[in-house]
Chain A
């Protein structure tokens, strides 16, 4: 009966109730989005770095992976050395550079990645096949991303001309080659708006001539950690990392965990912003419910006095009014959940279009536990936001309220 009365009270002013529910839905959506933003980037970045199973990234001293076009020579020896470590399971070397791709009158500047298909952790093949490594190392086949296909107006099976600019520093003239597109791939770390292609590492090194010979930009290493607990895994990875930096002074080795910590430090601003906006949305939700329920209680003091007079206990009135807050909260949160997910998806699309960000990085990631906890917090807050007016309603002096009603 209390639920019936609470529901009836909310239905009495449908427009007012609807506006309050909509306000709560916006607060809930904001809270959800902020929670998704605060936890999402970290989760997404972690997922991105760990998706291919490599825990260490080895780059030229003092650089981050593909942060610059810096490369390190003696790549074959370096990779062989890394592979010789008993705790290293796999090593994936790669070389990145910028090339000009042309077909007919269409030309684009593209990111060219040389890597070996059997160990690579840079892309996911979507269509076609992996490029084969020719015996004479001449560049002949490539896989490309969707942007490359679109911008150059080509499709699988087409031939594309590649060239590099003349390098005055290396006294090397521009290099030219021709590749057949044999596959389409999604490059994990390449911004979605940047045309990209990949060929076997040896073919790209050969194509680049002096500037690419036996060089690499990055090597990813997978450490054997099967059967170890989390702490032991961290210890082993760190030992291998230190070994690499000790043995090879020309490189920096960075673990996935360290990279995540560094990213988290850079994202601290976002988390603080998300925390503040999330807290604000909670406050807005509480204020909305308190205002609406207070208004409703003030209008119904006489009616509530009559309820008390005919035998409804204080606790009954308290429960009824708090139920009104709970119902508002439930309705607002249900709508807010959908609204929040739609908004997050939309904002994610906008933010992912920022230049320079990996295609697979998400800003808003659904985390069930975090989302449910935050929405439950809002629901509890909304319920207890009705507690003050509910307490007032339950303390109404019955005889006095009836006298005042009779006079009114």
Chain B
């Protein structure tokens, strides 16, 4: 394993980030002081047991949530205290999000789902249609643009979700358990897609329990109890204890 050298071309920088939230009567200390730096072009997997703070960290990195303490800098801009409108705009234009359950709009076609963020960004209808078609071809769904999510397999739905995340040409792709609902073969195809995106220059940060997906990342961050316990270049697979729920 090699130590991380993330000082050049920094995309994301989190400093001593803490976050807690209420869950019923109790308080969950999701992050207890996390610091990390992600450079452009990295392929990072965040692994750890359930409740270790992976998803919370991902939300903070993507301006979906804000830290209670500490700071998160994205492309040199502090995003810890953005207004809702600013954070929304940042997510729309600079961050692509992929979720475990795909969360496609069920009554829209694959093409319309991909066009949705572009419409929000104010891209002209013809241009967004052309780009959505191009993206769907890129993820291997060029022939299924008119299909609704219910007419697609899980793997196809997740690929549409990836295309949607790429709609506004983000600098960062965040994926929360992207293979969590897929079988091994479909998951492998998705991993290949993500690797291809990374090879094309996109920075990818994934939260996963999937050892195969974690192995495919250049860098693996292991979390436990709201803290980073390992941060390594992934020349070797993470241990079962790192990844197991």
Could you tell me which A residues sit within 8 Å of B by CB distance?
1, 4-5, 8-9, 11-12, 302-303, 306-314, 316, 398-400, 402-403, 405-406
Contact across chains for B106 and A12 when beta carbons are under 8 A apart: yes
Q: Bin the interface of chain B by size.
A: 20 to 34
Contacts of B62 in A (CB 8 A): 309
Min CB gap A405→B, angstroms: 7
Could you tell me which B residues sit within 8 Å of A by CB distance?
21, 55-56, 59, 62, 64-65, 84-85, 88-89, 91-93, 97, 99-101, 103, 105-108, 112, 115-117, 119-121, 164-165, 168, 176
Given A310-B116, A311-B121, A402-B64 in contact, is the A5-B105 Cβ separation under 8 Å?
yes
Min CB gap A404→B, angstroms: 9
Min CB gap A149→B, angstroms: 62
Contact across chains for B64 and A399 when beta carbons are under 8 A apart: yes
Contact across chains for B93 and A311 when beta carbons are under 8 A apart: yes
A226 to B168, CA, bound (A): 72
Contact across chains for A8 and B91 when beta carbons are under 8 A apart: no
Contacts of A303 in B (CB 8 A): 103, 105
Main secondary structure of the interface of A (DSSP, over half): helix
Contacts of A12 in B (CB 8 A): 106-107
Min CB gap B79→A, angstroms: 14
A334 to B219, CA, bound (A): 60
Min CB gap B49→A, angstroms: 15
Tell me which of A4, A11, A311, A402 contacts B88 (CB under 8 A). A311
A308 to B116, CA, bound (A): 12
A9 to B108, CA, bound (A): 10
Contacts of B84 in A (CB 8 A): 313-314
A309 to B176, CA, bound (A): 13
Contact across chains for A311 and B59 when beta carbons are under 8 A apart: no
A316 to B103, CA, bound (A): 18
Q: Which residue of B lies closest to A312 (CB)?
A: B120
Known interface pairs A5-B108, A399-B64; 11 further A-B residue pairs with C-beta atoms within 8 A, sorted by A's residue number: A1-B119, A8-B105, A12-B106, A303-B103, A309-B91, A310-B92, A310-B165, A314-B84, A314-B88, A399-B65, A402-B59
Contact across chains for B103 and A302 when beta carbons are under 8 A apart: yes
Contact across chains for A402 and B99 when beta carbons are under 8 A apart: yes
Across chains A and B, which 4 residue pairs bring their CB atoms closest together, nearest first?
A311-B92, A8-B107, A399-B65, A1-B119
Contacts of A316 in B (CB 8 A): 120
A381 to B21, CA, bound (A): 38
Contact across chains for B105 and A406 when beta carbons are under 8 A apart: no
Contact across chains for A4 and B99 when beta carbons are under 8 A apart: no
Q: Which residue of A lies closest to B87 (CB)?
A: A398
Contact across chains for A310 and B107 when beta carbons are under 8 A apart: no
A405 to B102, CA, bound (A): 12
Contacts of B121 in A (CB 8 A): 311
Q: Which residue of B lies closest to A398 (CB)?
A: B64
Contact across chains for B65 and A398 when beta carbons are under 8 A apart: yes
